[in-house]
Structure 1
Amino acid sequence: MTFNDRIFGVLMIVLAVAYGWGATQLPEPFGGSEAVGPETFPLLLSVVLALSSLYLIVRPDPDNAWPWSRTGIELVIAVVVLVLYAMLLQPLGFIISTALAVGTLCWRMGARPPRAYLVGAVSGLVVYLVFNFALDLALPLGLLSFLEVS
C-alpha cells in the first residue's frame, strides 16, 4: 500500500508548486521594500507542504489503506466544505463564510448543529476582530460590508 502515499505525495507536490507560484503573483504592497510581504506566509506554507510531500514519497507508510468507509466520506465532505469556503470567502465575507465552514465541520465531527454553528459564528467574529484590529490586516466583509468603519 505504499503506492497510495506516493501518489498522494506527488499530488501534494504539484499543489505546493501551484500554491507557491500563486503566492508570487500577489501584488506588491505599497512602498514595495518590506522584507515580509503578502507572499511570505503562503510561500512558507508551500515549502512546508513540499517537504512533507517529499517525505511521503521517500518514506511511505507500509500499512496504509484508503479509507473507503465512513471516514473516507467524511474526508470528502471536509474537502468540499473547504473548497466552498474558499469560493464564498469574497462574496459572503470572512465572518459568514467562516461561520458556515467551521459550523459544518464541527457538526460533521459530532456537535449538535445549533452549538456547532454558534461556535462557527463566534470563531469567525473573533478571528476577524483579531486580524482587523490587533494585526491591522483587512479581511473581506462581503455581505456585512455595511459594518465597515472608514
Structure 2
Amino acid sequence: MTFNDRIFGVLLIALAVAYGWGASQFPEPFGGSEAIGPDTFPTLLAVVLGLCSLYLIVRPDPDHAWPWSRTGVELVIAVVVLVFYAMLLEPLGFIISTTLAVGTLCWRMGAEPLRAYLVGAVAGVVVFLLFNFALDLALPLGLLSFLEVS
C-alpha cells in the first residue's frame, strides 16, 4: 500500500512547514543581517524534511507492510523521546537534554546503558562547544547555567 507512505509524506510536509515557520519566528540576531543566525539550522532541517516528504509522496516504498511489531514500537518510543527532548531543551539545557535523548535512543538500539549515556554526554558537549565557539550560536545551558562565561 503506497497510500500509507503518501499519507505519512503529507503529514511530514505539514510538520516541515510548521517547523520552518517556527524557525522564522526566532528574533533577529543582534547586529542586523548575519548570514548565520539562530534560524539557519532549523530552516535547513525544515527544507530537508520537506524534500524527503515530497520524495515519499512521489516515490512511495512498494513494501506493503507497516512495522507494527517491535520495530513499530521502537519508532513510537523514538518519537516520544524526541518530543520530550524538545520540551526539556530550555529548562534542562542542551547538554543534559541531549545526553538524555541520545543516550535513550542509543540504549533502545541495543547499546549498554552506561555506554549509551556516555555517548549522549560526549555528543551533547561536543555539539554544544561546536555551536557556541565555532559557529558562535548560543545554545541553552539550562541547569548548567552556572558554567556560563560572561
- Which TM-score applies when normalising by structure 2? 0.92
Q: What is the alpha-carbon distance in structure 1 between the residues aligned to residue 38 and residue 47 of structure 2?
A: 16
- Kindly provide the CA deviation profile for residues 30-50 of structure 1, in whole angstroms up to 9, marking residues without a partner as x: 232334433233223222222
Q: What is the alpha-carbon distance in structure 2 between the residues aligned to residue 61 and residue 115 of structure 1?
A: 34
- Of all paired residues, the percent bearing the same amino acid is 86
Q: What is the alpha-carbon distance in structure 1 between the residues aligned to residue 20 and residue 51 of structure 2?
A: 13
Q: What is the alpha-carbon distance in structure 2 between the residues aligned to residue 111 and residue 35 of structure 1?
A: 39
Residues 61 and 116 of structure 1, relative CA distance in 2, 3 Å threshold: same
Q: Please give the secondary structure, in 1, of the residue aligned with 2:10.
A: helix
Q: How many residues align?
A: 150
Q: What is the alpha-carbon distance in structure 2 between the residues aligned to residue 37 and residue 131 of structure 1?
A: 11
Contact 1:26 1:39 in 2 (8 A): yes
Specify every segment of 5 or more residues in structure 2 that has no aligned partner in the other structure, as ranges: none
Taking the TM superposition and a 5 Å limit, the aligned residue runs for 1:30-109 are 30-109=30-109
Q: Please give the secondary structure, in 2, of the residue aligned with 1:32.
A: coil
Read off the aligned partner of 2:74 and give its amino acid letter. E
CA RMSD of aligned residues (A): 1.4
**Who is 1:6 aligned against?**
6
Q: What is the alpha-carbon distance in structure 2 between the residues aligned to residue 136 and residue 29 of structure 1?
A: 11
**Who is 1:135 aligned against?**
135
Runs of 4+, deviation exceeding 6 Å? none
